């Protein structure tokens, strides 16, 4: 892995046209967030198991994402950039000072379990600052006109972190901070499309009263999981005040699969983006929607991710002059998550043929039930969401 003092990997990307490049922001210091071992994500040792597993949000998953972009078939299309830590003052654009102080104090005291499965250990705060700062730098790269397609390869993830609390392995909302930077930098309207298997509740909460940010989340229908995650991700959580109608939750049945996600994209996501007409696009990616992820049950394969990438690239080209920020979130199968990331970025690049074949191939799916659910959501949106009534 490249250290922070070394130059990041050099490839032939420097000779490719800008529209065929993905600019990747990364810092190896994010690997120092050690989430420990136990029974799944609990950190618990019951005393009767010989082998405990790593917490699902561990450094290995991101090491493989880094290496597949560095040495995989997509590597010629990647331009590497050094990440950096966020300033405390930058965090206040999304989070409250009181919450940031709580994190600083937890770090100063040697760590704390902030909520179920979310451990701030020695090294975690520095990693979280690097994730936030690298994502902010990625967005600034776009705003300043240095690149149009930019990917923040970051951990810890962020989309569950709310303005006032941690949640679901997340401390700081990396995407939310970047969206606010875009608004502050002159963008009129921003779309955030979140395809992580879990509801992007933190990002939604941060812009719940805004009509300048359209948050769309395609997620497993998992509901609330306690005090840290009070939001249910249901279709009736639409925003409030000026933001009413600008938070679109698309809870999909378990096992929705490639065809179901494709149907949701074409019948729900694309029409909403078309009506909203953003001038900045943010794709929040989690490979935990894959067929083999330990933390999800949505059954996407590489082909499904590739098609989502193609669709969002088409929307970016049409509405935001090609400007697209991609922010890493979940994805916990150590190898397949990296493959699905590769496929997503292939789609974003609009490559004519897949660069990498799927090592796990097809997964059986039944598209009939997801289609019925999607049609019901579409009908609800037309009846309730003002800007979608004639979509």
Catalytic, 229? Answer no
The phi-psi region of residue 320 (left if phi > 0; otherwise alpha if psi is between -120 and 50; otherwise beta) is alpha
| Cβ neighbourhood burial of 10 (10 Å; 0-12, 13-18, 19+) | exposed
Give the list of residues 6+ apart from residue 24 with CB closer than 8 angstroms, or none. 69, 78, 79, 80, 81, 150, 151, 152, 153
Location of structure tokens 């004519």: 352
Q: How far apart are alpha carbons 259 and 256 in whole angstroms? A: 8
E strands, the chain, where?
Answer: 22-26, 37-38, 53-54, 78-82, 112-115, 118-120, 149-152, 190-194, 213-220, 247-252, 280-285, 324-328
> Which one from 27, 95, 160, 198 is the annotated catalytic residue?
160
Q: Which residues are catalytic?
A: 160
């Amino acid at each position: 892995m490249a250290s922070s003092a070394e130059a990041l990997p050099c490839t032939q990307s420097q000779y490719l046209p800008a529209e065929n490049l993905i600019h990747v922001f990364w810092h190896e210091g994010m690997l120092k967030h050690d989430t420990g071992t136990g029974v799944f994500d609990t950190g618990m040792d019951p005393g009767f198991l010989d082998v405990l597993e790593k917490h699902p949000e561990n450094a290995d998953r991101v090491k493989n994402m880094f290496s597949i972009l560095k040495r995989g078939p997509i590597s010629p299309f990647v331009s590497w950039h050094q990440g950096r830590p966020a300033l405390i003052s930058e965090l206040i654009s999304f989070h409250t000072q009181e919450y940031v102080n709580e994190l600083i104090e937890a770090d100063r005291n040697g760590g704390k379990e902030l909520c179920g499965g979310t451990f701030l250990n020695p090294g975690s705060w520095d990693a979280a600052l690097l994730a936030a700062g690298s994502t902010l730098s990625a967005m600034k790269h776009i705003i300043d006109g240095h690149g149009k397609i930019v990917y923040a390869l970051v951990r810890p993830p962020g989309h569950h972190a709310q303005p006032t609390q941690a949640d679901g392995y997340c401390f700081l909302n990396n995407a939310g901070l970047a969206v606010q930077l875009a608004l502050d930098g002159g963008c009129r309207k921003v779309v955030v499309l979140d395809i992580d298997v879990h509801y992007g509740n933190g990002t939604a909460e941060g812009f719940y009263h805004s009509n300048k940010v359209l948050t769309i989340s395609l997620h497993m229908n998992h509901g609330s999981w306690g005090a840290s995650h009070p939001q249910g991700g249901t279709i009736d959580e639409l925003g409030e005040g000026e933001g009413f109608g600008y938070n679109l939750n698309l809870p999909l049945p378990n096992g929705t699969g490639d065809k179901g996600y494709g149907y949701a994209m074409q019948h729900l996501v694309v029409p909403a983006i078309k009506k909203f007409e953003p001038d900045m696009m943010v794709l929040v990616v989690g490979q935990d929607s894959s067929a083999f992820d330990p933390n999800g049950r949505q059954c996407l394969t590489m082909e499904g991710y590739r098609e989502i990438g193609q669709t969002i690239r088409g929307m970016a080209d049409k509405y935001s002059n090609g400007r697209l920020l991609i922010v890493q979130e979940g994805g916990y199968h150590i190898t397949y998550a990296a493959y699905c990331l590769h496929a997503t970025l292939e789609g974003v690049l609009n490559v004519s043929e897949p660069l990498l074949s799927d090592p796990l191939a097809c997964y059986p799916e039944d598209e009939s039930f997801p289609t019925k659910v999607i049609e019901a959501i579409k009908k609800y949106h037309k009846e309730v969401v003002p800007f979608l009534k004639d979509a």
